[in-house]
Amino acid sequence: MTRTICLILATLAQFPIAAIAQTCNGANPAITAVTLQRVSQTPHLNLYHVTATVTNLGNTRQPGNVLQFIDVVQYDGRLDDRGIPPLAPGESYTVTYVWPRSADAGRLTSPLNFRIRTIAPSDACIPTKGSAGITV
């Protein structure tokens, strides 16, 4: 039995499964900035206007069929997302997110994280700078 399991594991080890975790060769989208632009107020809420910038740090254009997003995440729960168009080398795209928060909430107690999520193509690389955050 143990010999059979070892044989199966040795066989499976021969198949490439690293496509999911491949580094970005060519196009390399990265979150290069997350900035709090301003805070506006209503009687009960502070509205945090945050921008996140994605830049293609690679040396090739992203394919026209790329389907990618910036997810706005707090405590590993996705709050929202924004689409990102295909980017040429060196090109950037900035998204804005307005986060409503209680006017009574303490300052610098709530993290917001912005993460790149690629849906297609299915063999897309995992960006080396695919996440950045801010605490408000």
- Structural domains in the chain? 18-135 (2.60.40.10)
pLDDT of residue 20: 44
Below-50 pLDDT ranges, the chain: 2-21
pLDDT of residue 23: 65
Predicted structure pTM score: 0.78
pLDDT of residue 22: 57
DSSP of the chain, one letter per residue?
A: -HHHHHHHHHHHTTS--GGGG----S--EEEEEEEEEEEEE-SSEEEEEEEEEEEE-SSSPPPTT-EEEEEEEETTEEEEEEEE----TT-EEEEEEEEEEETTSPTT--EEEEEEEEEESTT----TT-EEEEE-
pLDDT of residue 87: 95
pLDDT of residue 7: 40
pLDDT of residue 4: 43
